[in-house]
Each structure stands twice: as structure tokens, then as C-alpha cells.
Structure 1
Amino acid sequence: MTYTRVLADPSYRVLFASRTLAITADTLRIVALSVLVFALTGSTLLAAVAYGISFLPQLIGGSLLGAVADLLPPRQLIALGYGVEFGSGLLLALADLPVWLSLTLVAAVSMVTPLVNGAVGRVVADVLSGESYVLGRSLFNLASSAAQLIGMAGAGAAVAVLGAHHAMLVSAVLHLVAAAWVRLRLPDLRVTGGTLAAAVRRSWAGNRELLRDRTIRALILAQWLPPACVTGAESLIVPYFAVRGLPVETGGLLLACMPVGMMIGSWLVGRWVGASTRRRLLVPLMTVVGLPLVGFAVAGLPVVVCGALLVVAGTGFAYGLAIQQRFRDLVPADHRGQAFSLLSTGLMTAQGLSPALAGALTGILPVAQVIALCGAVSVAAVILFRLRATEVMEPC
């Protein structure tokens, strides 16, 4: 099985391309909005809020409407989600909105994100299985990391050359292309259909049912906690170098190390490691996510060593390939959309909260120790997962 054979599936190919475009557009918009808000207000706090404003509102969309991913045709739902992103981006770029209204608009639109992610996850789980599914998720991870790197680099260049407003216009156009691609090229899949009220009822009941299952709950938490800890640590990389008296640009460059490691890990584990070996590597890889961050507790680490630690931590995220395959196999087929929506909702919520918690801890502890503490908490979560869910990765 190769990446080429996975990309031969027309549904997967469309989702792979459109999702990569959308992630690039999201990254570009987030950076441009943060720069614009800081330029207008001079407030570091508001700039940080603008950077993370799209995370927490996803909790509302995923909790109340997660079942929509199973009730509406994926082609229409995904295209609509990207279309809404296009419309909001157009407003941000062309209308002279007050800062509070811009932030409110981004927060409101982000509530659709879990539904789109749920629909995408459902389609991929339906059209791919076994090793094909693992390779498909591996490609998604590779593309996501690459899109974030390109988006970050492109955002800096676009804002410098075009200005923040025009950079957001570029982001809107990318979302429009993604929406049109899905609407015109993604094959239709059958759905059960239902009303909005039915979707809300099914969402609440479905979330309770998924989280009540001990194995599924363990798989979900295993995909929420380590990334949340790492996000908290990442949010302190720039302040860490600033406190050390090093150029702030150093921290910005090192933020790219984690995605590079994620690309390496996804490629190695997804392409070259078999199913049984992936299961055996699950706990070691999960441990690798947090353990290198503990090294930041050592005073005066050379910049190269800091970068190497972040790259190694990024490779550990390949543990998700084993967990995602097991998750896909355990979730009932008619609840896959909601399950992936719940997964996305919790992940985004945790990643939205962790930087705030990590930042609050810097009022008590030195920045380096907080980064190390984030890594230690991630390792502790892995130990708990290993002790309390020994049967989780048993093959179906």
C-alpha cells in the first residue's frame, strides 16, 4: 500500500487538497488578524485573543450540533463550512469592522469548524479502511503540518507586502477555492437526514454515549491531553527566548521545529511501520511527545538543542495514527461524523485553554519550568493511559 494508491480514491483526493488549502487559509487569516488587532489597539492581550479566538467557540458547535455531520450530505456541509469562512474573511478584509465585531465574527464562524471536521473524518473513515486508512491519516498529518508552515511563512510575507487586510483577502479566496472544489468534485454520500432539533437531541445523546464507553473515552482523552500540553508549552517559546535575552525571532523560527518533527514522524510511522508495530510503539511515541519538553528545565540550553528537542517531540505525534485507526474501527458507522466532531471539539477546546493556563503559571514559576511542567503533565497522562486502558489497543 502506497500514498499514491490512497490518493487514487476520488473522495479522499478532493478532501486532501481542499483541506490543505483550508488549513493554509486559516493560518494566514489568524496571523493577519492578530497583526491587524495589535496595529489597531497596541494591546498584546487583544492580539493574543485574536490569535486564539477560534478555539473555544468550537465547544458550542461540536456539543450542540455534532450529529449534523451524520445527518447532512458531506459535500454540502463541507462546502458550506468553507463558504462561510470565505464570507467572513471577505468581511474582515473589505469592511472596516471594529475590533470587537471582528473577533465576534471569527468566534461565531468557528462554531461550524467541528461539523466540517466531523464530516471530513466521516468520509475518510467510510472510503478507507485498514492500512489505507492509516496512510490516509498520515497524509492528512503531513499536509496539515506543511500547510501550517506554509501558512505561517506566507502570512509573514503577505502581511509585509500586502498589509493585513489584503492578506485576509487572500485567505478568503483560498477558502472559496476549497469550497468550490468540494462542491464540484466530491461525490455524494448517503445520509439519514433530520431536522435541527433532531440534530441537537442526537448530539447530546451521542456525545454521552461515546464518552460513556470506557475504551472510546480513553482513545478520545489520549488524543486531547498530550496535544493540549504541547500547545501550552509552545505558547511560551517566544517568551522563553525573550526572558533569556535572545532575539524574539529565534523563538518564532523554533516554532517551526514541532511541525517539522510531526511531518517526519507521520511519514516514518505511516509509511514504513506495520499495524502490530504501531500498536507496540503507541505508548513510547506518546511519551516522546512530552518528555523532550522536560529538558527545558535545564538552564541555558543552546538554541540548537532547544530546536532538536522540539523536533523530537513533534515526531511523537505519530502515535495518533495507531489511535485513530482503533477509534475508527470502534465507533459505529452511523455515528462516525459525530465522533470525529467530538474529537475535534475537545482537541480545539483543550488547545484553546492550555496557553491561558500555561501563561497564568508563569506568574508563579519561571517560563522554562512551566514548559518543562507541560511536558511532565503530558508524560503523566501517558502513564495514566497505560495503567487504566491496557485493553484499548487490542485489535478488533
Structure 2
Amino acid sequence: MTVADHPATYREVFAERSFRALFAARTLAIGAMSLQIFALSVLVYAGTGSPLLSALAFGAGFLPQVVGGLLLGSLTDRLRPRPLIAAGYAVEALLAAALGLLDLPVAVSLTLVAVIACGTPVFAGSAARVIAERLTGDAYVLGRSVSNMSSSAAQLLGLAGGGVAVAAVGPRTALLFAAGCHVAAAVVVRFGLPATARSPVLSQEPRPDRAGAVRDSWSGAVALLSDRAIRPLLLAQWLPSAFVAGAEALFVAYGAGRGFPAGTGAVLMAAPAVGMLLGNFVAGRFMRPSLRERSSPAFLLVLGTPLLVLPAAPPLPVLVGLLVVAGTGFAFGLGLQRAFLAAAPEDRRGQLFALFSTGMMALQGIGPLVLGAVAELTSPALAIAVAGAATVLVAPSLRRLRSG
């Protein structure tokens, strides 16, 4: 085993001060956002009695990120990270506080959520750029792994805590608690993230072609999506996540169709998240980088294949086990991280991470819509199997990426 092929350790990753600060802040913010989304959905439904408006409240912050990613993404490389990221969390805190304190019309509430969401890829891209600059080699991949694990845990805790908080103190007080968590995240970034990081674009002489942030963001996004090395790496990460998100959106309907007890849908939705935690832990910490990269197609098969079994109506314990196993397949993305980082242009690195986040959010919003339509025409079980088959079909592209 060469030194370069030796797996990194958590000690190496958490020894980096910038990573510690961003890890803590992001974990707080993701938990707060999950709580905020749930509480706002409950608040909207209680005020309107409309399932549609409640669903819109749940998803209002996803698709608008496309606008921010495409038209504001270059700001990640033009502005200093610490004030940009701290400002992002502070704005999220103001939003949650406004939703909790003010008796706003539903249309105004959803508009505010959508507008603020436009900035999310910018803040996320800046944080990802800092981590990519501070962690090198396999430490960067392990950092991504532990970030994925904390995201899954924070989402689960945020949703679970949201249910408890809303039941105990009501949705408005829960929104204020979410605002407090966002404030804590901003404070962690402001005082925990070193101010030494300097944008590569700010370090260069001003260039006429980068004068306007919107024009620069659009041209940069087009250039990145046109790059023959970058585009396949983006699609290889976006598409499986979109397919699986679409399948997960049908778990409630699938469970009801099988006659499972009420609440089983939540168990089915949590099972892949548990598998994701396990898969990222094992692959990130114990697999050599070269083995992890060779195993990406196999992990992708593990992600999709169990979904093909659902039309056969396995017993509930077997079904939950299959979904946990499927979730471990999300580790396929770790094997792409070194190639993805190597393909990133130095002066567009932050924008590439913003674009990655934008596409991930957008396609995870579109996936449930497409597979929901398939389920309407056929059945939830068959639509989930279609998602599994589509995921499996991406695996050959990963082999071609490695051989290319």
C-alpha cells in the first residue's frame, strides 16, 4: 500500500480548524432547516387546510436554488468565505424568525422562502471550496464522507425533533428555535473559521469578462457543463440521487398499498438514511482510496438493485433490511470525489460546488414528480422498480469514467 493510497483518519480531518467550524455550523444549519421546513408545512396546513399548499411549503426552498446556482454561482469565488457563509446563516435565521413571529399570508411566506433559497448554492459552494482548499488527498474524501453522515443524522434529528417541538410548543415557537440554531451556525463560522482564506478570483487582477456577477455566473455555468471531464462526473452523481429520491417519495404510498400499519412510511424513508450512514462510514474510513474508486460501480448496483425487489412484496422486516442495504450504496459518490476535485478549474472551484449543489437539489425535486407520474399510470411498486433499474443503468458510465 503506497502512502497516497492509505486511507485518511478522522483525526487528520478534524485537526483542520476550518473543517471543524464548517462541520459544526453545517450540522446545526441542516437540523434547523429540517425543523423549519416541517414546522412551516404544519403552520401552512393548519391555516389553510390545503395539502397542496402544505406540500409547496415543504418544497419551496428546493427548485429556486437553480436560479441562484446558475446566476449567482460565481460569487463563491469572488467573495471572501467567512463573511459570505456567516451572512448566509444569518439571513436564514432572519427568515425563520420572520416566519415564526409575523402572521404573514401564505403567498408571502413561500415567496420569502423561495427568494432566500436562491442564495443557498452560493453559501454552500463557498463552504465546499474552503474544505477543498484545506483538506488534501484522501483527507478531503473522508471529510466529504463525514459531512454526508452528519447531514443524514441532522436531517433525521431535525425532522424527529420537529415533530416533538411542534407537538409540544407549536409551529411558531419551533420556527424560533430553528432561527436560534441558524444564529448559532453564523456565530460558529464568524469566530471559528479563520479569515485567512482568500478567493483566487480576488487575488487576480480584475478582468473585463468577469465584471458582472450574473453574466460571469451564467458563462461559468455553461463552461462547466460543457466540459467533457466535468459534465459526466456531475451527471454520475446527480442522476442516481434523483432516481432514489423519487423512489423514497413513493414509500408512503407503497406502504399503504401493502396494508402496512400507519407510520410505516416513515420507517421505510429512514431505512436508506441508516444505510447511508453505514456505507459512508465503512467506505470512507476503512477502504483504500484506489479500492473505493474501483468499487463505485458496485456500490451503485447495491443502491439500485434492492429497489427491483419491491414489486415482489417482501415481508416488512425483509423490506426494511433491503432498503438499509440499498442506502449503503450511496457510498458510490465517495469514489468520484478525487476525480471531481481534480477536474475543477482553480478559479471556478467554488462555482463548480455551487453548481453541483444546484443540480442535486433540482433533480431531487424533479425525480419525485416524474416517478409520481409513473406511479399514477402504473403502481408505486412498479415506479420504485423503475427507479432502481435506472440507477443500475448508470453503473456502466462509472466504469467508462474510470477507464477514460
Say yes or no: TM over 0.5: yes
* Match of residue 264 from structure 2: 250
- The residue type equivalent to 1:149 in the other structure is L
CA shift at 1:197, angstroms? Answer: 5.4
- What's 1:211 paired with? 225
Q: Please say if 1:296 is aligned against 2:316.
A: no
CA contact (8 A) 1:238 1:248 kept: no
Query: 1:351 matched to which residue of 2?
Result: 364
In structure 2, list runs of 5 or more residues that go unmatched.
1-7
User: Which of 143, 155, 170 is residue 150 of structure 2 equivalent to?
Assistant: 143
Specify the alignment match of 2:85 in structure 1: 78
Q: What residue is the counterpart of 1:368 in the other structure?
A: 381
Q: Give the letter aligned to residue 389 of structure 2.
A: A
Q: Deviations over 1:118-152 (max 9, x none)?
A: 00110010001111111111110111111111111
| In the alignment, structure 1 residue 57 sits paired with structure 2 residue 64 | yes
Computed over aligned residues only, the root mean square deviation of the Cα atoms, in angstroms, reads 1.5
CA shift, 1:385, in A, is 4.4
SS at match of 2:263: helix
Return the TM-score normalized by structure 2: 0.93
The answer to whether structure 1 residue 269 and structure 2 residue 276 are counterparts is no
1:38 paired with 2:45, answer: yes
Partner of 2:198: 190
* CA-CA distance at 1:336 after TM superposition: 0.9
1:202 CA displacement:
2.0
Aligned to 1:391: 403
Q: Does 1:224 align with 2:238?
A: yes
Distance 1:232 1:89 in 2: 28
| Residue of structure 2 equivalent to 1:16 | 23
Preserved CA contact (<8 Å) 2:298 2:395: no
| 2:104 paired with 1:97 | yes
Read off the aligned partner of 1:313 and give its amino acid letter: A
Partner of 1:173: 180
Q: Paired residue for 1:120?
A: 127
- In the alignment, the residues of structure 2 paired with residue 129 and residue 228 of structure 1 have an alpha-carbon distance, to the nearest angstrom, of 29
**Range that drifts further, 170-179 or 376-385:** 376-385
2:345 alignment counterpart: 332
Moved more, 260-269 or 40-49: 40-49
Aligned partner of 2:4 in structure 1 is none
Structure 1 segments of 4 or more deviating over 6 A?
none
Q: Deviation of residue 322 (structure 1)? A: 1.4
SS of aligned partner of 1:368: helix
- Structure 2 residue identity aligned to 1:259: A
In structure 2, relative to structure 1, the CA distance for the partners of 1:367 and 1:340 (3 Å cut) is same
